[in-house]
Structure 1
């Protein structure tokens, strides 16, 4: 299997989401939807651990996406691409999160500043990845949230098995081959993060900046046409 940019990013998203959920008391860093659920559960339960990070996850995500678009338009105005700068920004945020975590993991069961800042750095980095999909990776399968991909995959499978003559089986097969590896990479990232959490917690947030170095090396291996 060719290790292209999409597979690296989807592995990274699955890894970061699982790592943040396990190590930062239920925080989803790669997408914000789950944080509404966990925040609601935390507010009505006796355990309020991580409530602050979940509460600020959406504003942080929105601020970062806004900033990415604002920065991108500044680059456009000077006839340059923001692509490399945004990837480098992701690496910086992941690196800062990794450094803090090395000193303070495991995070205690309260809303301490180290866990909060680490969580916000991870949310910020993943917000950049989400935004870059809408700006630079327009033709690539989403790598951060698998709900839409799973839905499309099942629709395509049903179409492939149907007898309708208008179905473009070649196009459906191509999309299937694009979506399935991304979903597999995301799931693999989740599994690896769980294993690292179990056996090497102190190193759990070292993996994302390493993956970003690999992603930067493969940065041009995405669909442009």
Structure 2
């Protein structure tokens, strides 16, 4: 049986967690820093609640990435399996978020302590995912941001449609295939998260936690940094 690529699994989870976080945590994007800037501005202008989680998301995200990279370098020097250790950290954070959400959810108030704890736990998990993807799966499309991926798809399609020949055209076609799969996985994650919010709101964050466990048996196509 062919194993699913790790990058695809991470991308599905990225879309799922970002959508579930936005819908369940009053507009917080756990993985989308730019989105939090936009919603923070809207929150401040409209005078609605929920500014604190969006304000804290960036420093928490940056701090976790910094710590993740330092720990990764230390593990590398010690001869430890860096990618598996970082994946384990992300899995633990997602499991903690799932347990917390079942006990304290649903999160109806954007200003509650429970909402803040849940949000920062998810932000931390997605920060670890972004860091490990950037270092260890750098040749794979990003797992939490589709703007650049979509742009590259259109650029490569333009080369193909323009009839470009040679190695460049072959590489463009190869990239398109991989990136379309990434966009599809992200979109599927978004759609299933939205459905889960409606059908099983109390258990919505259990799904990415369970799926993340399969990261350890997924196929790593382009391992780097270990």
| Cα displacement (A) at 1:166 | 5.4
| Cα displacement (A) at 1:200 | 0.8
Gaps of 5+ in 1: none
User: 1:37 maps to which residue?
Assistant: 38
Ranges of 4+ aligned residues in structure 1 off by more than 4 Å: none
* C-alpha separation in 2, matches of 1:58 and 1:36: 9
| 1:168-196 deviation per Cα after TM superposition (whole angstroms, max 9, x unaligned) | 32211111111001100000000000000
User: 2:127 maps to which residue?
Assistant: 127
| 1:96-141 deviation per Cα after TM superposition (whole angstroms, max 9, x unaligned) | 1111110121112241111111110100000011101222112111
User: 1:15 maps to which residue?
Assistant: 16
| Cα displacement (A) at 1:77 | 2.1
| Cα displacement (A) at 1:7 | 1.4
* C-alpha separation in 1, matches of 2:211 and 2:102: 17
Maintained 8 Å contact 1:31/1:126: no
SS in 1 for 2:106: coil
Gaps of 5+ in 2: none
Aligned residues: 223
User: 1:103 maps to which residue?
Assistant: 103
TM-score normalized by the length of structure 2:
0.94
User: 2:222 maps to which residue?
Assistant: 223
* C-alpha separation in 1, matches of 2:97 and 2:223: 31
| Cα displacement (A) at 1:151 | 0.5
| Cα displacement (A) at 1:165 | 4.0
TM-score normalized by the length of structure 1:
0.94
User: 1:80 maps to which residue?
Assistant: 80
* C-alpha separation in 1, matches of 2:110 and 2:119: 13
Maintained 8 Å contact 1:143/1:186: yes
Maintained 8 Å contact 1:61/1:124: yes
Maintained 8 Å contact 2:109/2:115: no
Q: 1:110 to 1:137 in 2, by over 3 A?
A: closer
